[in-house]
Structure 1
Amino acid sequence: MDKTLLKGLKVLEIVTGSTERIRTIEELADKVGLTRSNTHRTLQTLIHAGFVARDDHDNYVGGIRLFELAANQLAQLDLRSAASSAMRALADSTGETIHLSVLDGFDVVYVDKIDSPRPIRAYSMIGGRAPAYAVATGKAILAHQTESFLQSHSAQLKKHTDATITDLEALQKALARTIKQGYAVNRGEWRDGVGGIAVPIFNGLGQIAGAVGISAPLDRLTPARVRLLVPEVIDCARTISRQLGYSDRPGNLID
């Protein structure tokens, strides 16, 4: 058991859960049951990490990082709930693996998935990661990020297969095509022989909430089949977006 971590969690719990505002180390130490020096050291670590801050009245309160994590977790939970039935419908109609992804740094994290019943299928797991620039759900999300965001992560463009895009300019062109055509594709850029089709999901504020997509062996994702599947993936993303409160407007990707 990590006692240092437990101390930090206890301090965080008191700071964020107490109905009384805490202004001094002494007050906090008394509530937590630690020495003043231990409390001060733990508190400074939490402040440095952004989990605790001082408000306008000089009280200790939860920091911005704490709110960011909570908001992200709530968003993911809401996204999974909103996407569940639409993902199931897409899985039933296509017979392929369906992924629900969110962006974390320059990776996507699979927050939900439905496996294909076919013996040969895309391998992944809930909670797993993939480089956003090399998978369809990731590219669907990256297409709506700023140029400065892409530039700041360009050093992370690494080759995974012969098809991986590792040049920033080439990636930007691919993302521009994604915007124009309304969906993203992966042609074996993360795993040899495995591809995907994906469309972004928007929340009620018109912001990117994630992406939903199909993954399958490339020998099943022929150009002809991709043309047949794209409208289904777009409909799935539109349904999920509306569940999140998104209102279709001209010019949006899912219109």
Structure 2
Amino acid sequence: MNNTLVKGLQLLEVLSARDGAAGISELAAELRLGRSNVHRLLQALVELGYVAKDGERGSYRASLKIWELGARALQRLDFREAAAPAMRHLLAQSNETVHLSVLSGEEVVYIDKLDSPEPVRAYSTIGGRAPAYCVATGKVLLAWRDEPAASSLLSARPLHAYTPSTAPDTAALALALERVRRQGFAVNRGEWRASVWGIASPLRGAGGRVIAALGISGPAERIRKKGVRDLARLVVDAAALASTRLAGQ
């Protein structure tokens, strides 16, 4: 693998995750690279249009060209259109925020969402990421992930605990994923953010392959009051509807 390419992509990821611009010294420290190396990478990315220099302060920020690439990629994801009616139906029935997610490494990426009309609701953004083993859509995608890819995550090791409810290690996660496969849906009981619960089910494409996850999330107390089992039935039915539409494309 080209080392310069890897470093350049890592630099882009760091810049795109920041709310504002960053200087060379700051970026070099975060990436553990030399200042001259970071400067050369930045100059190349500026020339290509992926990075913009922020005035005369000597700092840099990611440009909109990254967003443009992502937007074009999203347009090619046909299952977003197939899932849209099911997402609207699920929102109307549950009154909770609805997410459509895909797996990227060990994280989920939210590729579409519909916000709950409730004044207190789960916060997320399209393009946002979350640790897959902590959220319902992520656990669904891990449960039906290809075995060779899944083995890297499930190799015996502890897991970072975001809340007291996070799975402590990969052995516990493996048991949880087996339960997800048996029941056909996953539940997140405050495993990433203590106050937010979620429920998700798989979206299947041609041949029954799981290609995305459809789910809801909301304040823990409201999800408990409505009932996990009742909400899970709504989520499973919505995911089945979206899968049927996708199979008919």
Scaled by the length of structure 2, the TM-score of the pair is 0.66
Give the counterpart of 1:220 among 219, 222, 240: 222
Offset of residue 78 of structure 1: 0.6
Give the Å deviation of 1:173: 0.2
Please identify which structure carries the higher helix content: 2
* Structure 1 SS opposite 2:163: coil
Q: Does 1:115 align with 2:119?
A: no
- Letter matched to residue 245 of structure 2: Q
Which is higher, the Rg of structure 1 or of structure 2? 1
| Shift in alpha-carbon separation, 1:150–1:174, aligned structure 2, 3 A | same
Q: Given residue 87 of structure 1, which amino acid in structure 2 is its aligned partner?
A: M
- What is the deviation of 1:176? 0.5
The answer for the alignment partner of 2:124 in structure 1 is 124
Structure 1 segment 242-253 matched on structure 2, within 5 A:
242-245=244-247
1:151 shift after superposition: 3.4
Partner of 2:102: 102
When the two chains are superposed, the root-mean-square deviation of aligned CA atoms in Å is: 2.5
- Partner Cα separation in structure 2 for residue 148 and residue 172 of structure 1: 14
Q: Secondary structure at the match of 2:188?
A: strand
Structure 2 residue corresponding to 1:204, chosen from 179, 203, 206:
206
Q: Is the 8 A contact 2:188 2:199 kept in 1?
A: yes
Report 1:32-47 matches (<5 A): none
Report how far residue 76 of structure 1 moved.
5.8
Distance change in 2, residues 1:75/1:238 (3 Å) = farther
1:151–1:168 Cα contact (<8 Å) kept: no
Is contact 1:99-1:112 (8 Å) kept? yes
Closer, same or farther in 2 for the Cα pair 1:199/1:173, shift >3 Å? Answer: same
- Partner of 1:239 in structure 2? 241
Q: Percent identity?
A: 50
Which amino acid counterpart does residue 176 of structure 2 have in structure 1?
A: A
Q: Aligned in 2, Cα 1:236/1:159: closer, same or farther, shift over 3 Å?
A: same
* Shift, 1:193, TM fit: 1.1
Q: Distance in 1 between matches of 2:226 and 2:182?
A: 19
Show structure 2 runs of 5+ residues with no match: 6-68
Distance verdict in 2 for CA 1:129–1:219, change over 3 Å: same
> How far off its partner does 1:79 sit?
1.4
- Residue 75 of structure 1 deviates from its aligned partner by 8.4
- SS in structure 2 opposite 1:116? coil
Shift of 1:90: 0.6
- CA deviation vs aligned residue, 1:122-165 (integer Å, no higher than 9, x gap): 01000000011000000011111245433313568311111111
Kept in 1: contact 2:74–2:111 (CA 8 A):
no
Deviation at 1:93, TM superposition (A): 1.1
Deviation at 1:223, TM superposition (A): 7.1
Change (3 A) 1:243 1:222: same
Other-structure match for 2:178: 176
For residues 110 and 88 of structure 1, the distance between their equivalents in structure 2, rounded to whole angstroms, comes to 16
What amino acid does structure 2 have at the position aligned with 1:89? H
Is 1:153 the counterpart of 2:153? The answer is yes
Q: Provide the rounded CA distance (Å) in 1 between the counterparts of 2:148 and 2:171.
A: 13
User: In the alignment, what sits opposite 2:25?
Assistant: none
Counterpart-to-counterpart distance in 2, 1:240 and 1:75: 17
Q: 1:87 to 1:229 in 2, by over 3 A?
A: same
Which SS does the other structure have where 1:119 is aligned?
Answer: coil
How far, CA to CA, are the matches of 1:233 and 1:76 in structure 2? 25
Deviation at 1:109, TM superposition (A): 0.3
> How is 1:7-156 mapped onto 2 (pairs within 5 angstroms)?
73=73, 77-154=77-154
Structure 2 distance, partners of 1:77, 1:245, is 14
Equivalent-residue separation in structure 2 for 1:228 and 1:235 (angstroms):
11
CA contact (8 A) 1:76 1:111 kept: no
Distance 2:222 2:206 in 1: 35
Contact 2:153 2:170 in 1 (8 A): no
Give TM-score, length-normalised by structure 1: 0.65
